[in-house]
Amino acid sequence: MRVHIGTDHAGFELKEYLREQLAADGHDVVDHGSFEYDIEDDYPAFCFAAAEAVVAEAGSLGIVIGGSGNGEQIAANKVRGVRAALAWSVETARLSRQHNDANVVAVGARQHTAAEALEIVRAYLAEPFTGLARHQRRIDQVSAYENAR
C-alpha cells in the first residue's frame, strides 16, 4: 500500500523508524518531511503535504506524527477529503478504519514507545472499512457539510 507520512521534530525519530519498518512490511512509504531534525520546525506544512497526497491518490493512506498527534490531526483535517483520526491504542486505530474510514491517522510520538506506535500504525493500515450503511451514512453527512462550505 502507498503510505504518505509527515511529521515535525517531535516525531522525526519515530517517522524514520516507521519508514523503515513499514517498507520492510511491503508498504511504499512516501516521506513528506520533515527531512531533517529541526527543533524549531512547525507541523502544519508537513501534515498538509501528506494529507494532500492521500486525497490525490485514491487507495493510499496517511500517517501524521507529532508530540501528541493533536495538532497534526487538526491540520490534516483541514484538507478537503481527509478524515484524520488520532489513534492512541490498537483499538482506536482499528475503529478509525472500521467505523470512520479514516484515510489519515495521527500518532503522538511522545505518548508511546516506538514499538507501540508501530503496532498502532500496523493495526490502522491493516484494517478495512466495514462499509456498513450506518457508518457510511455518517461519513457522508460529514462530507456533505465539508463540501457545502
Ligand X SMILES: O=C[C@H](O)[C@H](O)[C@H](O)COP(=O)(O)O
Query: Binding site for D-ribulose 5-phosphate: which residues?
Result: 8-9, 67-71, 100, 110, 134, 138
Out of 29, 48, 51, 68, the only residue in the binding site for ligand X (CB under 6 A) is 68
Is 72 a known active-site residue?
yes
The sign one gets for the Cα dihedral 94, 95, 98, 100 is negative
- Catalytic residue chosen out of the listed positions 16, 99, 119, 127: 99
Q: Please spell the DSSP secondary structure of 101-135, one letter per residue.
A: --SEEEEEGGGS-HHHHHHHHHHHHHPPP---HHH
- Per-residue contact string for residues 48-67; x = within reach of ligand X by CB under 6 A: ------------------xx
My answer on whether omega of the bond before 60 falls inside 30° of 0, hence cis, is no
70 binds ligand X (CB under 6 A): yes
- DSSP alpha helix (H) spans, 25-89: 43-56, 70-76
Is 36 a known active-site residue?
no
Between 43 and 124, whose beta carbon lies closer to ligand X? 43
Q: Which residues bind ligand X (CB under 6 A)?
A: 8, 10, 43, 66-68, 70-71
